[in-house]
Amino acid sequence: MGERSSDGLLRTEILRIAEQRGSDKTLCPSDAARSIGGEGWRDLMPAARRIAFELAGEGRVDVTQHGDRVEPDARGPIRIRWVTGPA
């Protein structure tokens, strides 16, 4: 799978899962990576994190740690939450 095609698939899958779960529940970027990446999901993790922050910049999702929004330079595990209203 090429980088461009995997980016598009990750973006779509992050949004699909986030919308499905709603603003009360979160997902890990690995949920989307595992969904589209099969055995090679770990290789997709840097792109999944980058795309999550791109979507947050567009106001589509929030990226959080311990329930608080974080910036793209955040280290460690992150969670993605669907945004239901104006960001």
The domain defined by 3-82 folds into Arc Repressor Mutant, subunit A (1.10.10)
Residue 11 has phi, psi (to 5 degrees) of: -60, -50
Strand, coil or helix: what is 35?
helix
User: What pLDDT is stored for residue 84 in this prediction?
Assistant: 83
In this prediction the pTM is: 0.91
| Residue 75 contacts residue 14 (beta carbons within 8 Å) | no
Question: Locate tokens 């999944």: which residue?
Answer: 48
Q: Where are the domains of the chain?
A: 3-82
| CA–CA dist 52, 69 (Å, integer) | 12
Q: Which residue has the higher pLDDT, 87 or 7?
A: 7
Residue pLDDT, tens place only, 9-66: 999 999 999 999 999 999 999 999 999 999 999 999 999 999 999 999 999 999 999 9
